[in-house]
Amino acid sequence: MKKLQVIYFLLAYWVGIFAVYGQTVPKNFKSLDRLLSQKFDAQFGYSVLVAHQGKVVFRKYGGYAHKRKKQKVNKNTLFNIASITKSVTAVGIFKLIEQGKLHLSDPLSKFFIDVPSDKKAITIAQLLAHRSGFKQNYVCDGVKDAKKALKVILKDKLKFSPGSGFSYSNQNYEMLALIIEKATGQTYEKYTDQAILKPVGMTQTKFWEAGNESAATASTNTRLSARTKRKNWGFIGSGGLYTTAEDLWRFWQGVMGYKIVSRQSVSTMLDNYYKTSSELEVGYGWFTNSTTDWHSKEVWTRGNESWGHNAVVRGFVDKEVVIIVLSNSGEMGDRNQTGNRAVSKEVADWLWSK
User: What is the three-state SS of 232-266?
Assistant: CHHHCCCCCCEECHHHHHHHHHHHHCCCCCCHHHH
Q: Quick check: 336 pLDDT over 90?
A: no
Q: What is the pLDDT of residue 12?
A: 46
Q: What is the pLDDT of residue 334?
A: 78
For the stretch 344-353, pLDDT in tens is 999 999 999 8
CB atoms inside a 10 Å sphere around CB 325: 31
Does residue 215 have a pLDDT over 80?
yes
- pLDDT beyond 80 at 17: no
CB 350 within 8 A of CB 323: no
| Predicted local distance difference test score (pLDDT) of residue 2 | 43
Indicate if the pLDDT at residue 233 is higher than 50. Answer: yes
CB 281 within 8 A of CB 289: yes
**3-state SS string for 152-179:** HHHHCCCCCCCCCCCCCCHHHHHHHHHH
CA–centroid distance for 352 within its chain: 25
* Distances from the Cα of 103 to the Cα of 99, 106, 245, angstroms: 10, 5, 32
pLDDT tens sequence across 234-266: 999 999 999 999 999 999 999 999 999 999 999
- pLDDT (0 to 100) of residue 111: 98
* Residue 314 contacts residue 323 (beta carbons within 8 Å): yes
Tally Cβ neighbours within 10 Å of residue 10. 18
1 has pLDDT over 60? no
DSSP 169-232: -HHHHHHHHHHHHHHHSS-HHHHHIIIIIHHHT-TT-B-HHHHHH-TTBPP-SSPPPHHHHSS-
Burial profile 131-168: b = 16 or more Cβ within 10 angstroms, e = fewer = bbbbbeeebbeebeebeebbebbbebebbeebeeebbe
Q: What superfamily in CATH does domain 2-352 come from?
A: DD-peptidase/beta-lactamase superfamily (3.40.710.10)
Residue 72: predicted pLDDT: 97
- For the chain, give the percent of residues with pLDDT over 90: 88
pLDDT of 112 above 60? yes
Contact indicator for 204, 76 with CB cutoff of 8 Å: yes
pTM score over 0.75: yes
Mean pLDDT of the chain: 93
Share of the chain above pLDDT 70, in %: 92
- If you average pLDDT over residues 75-88, what whole number do you get? 98
**Quick one: pLDDT band at residue 22, thresholds 50, 70, 90?**
very low
pLDDT at 172 over 90: yes
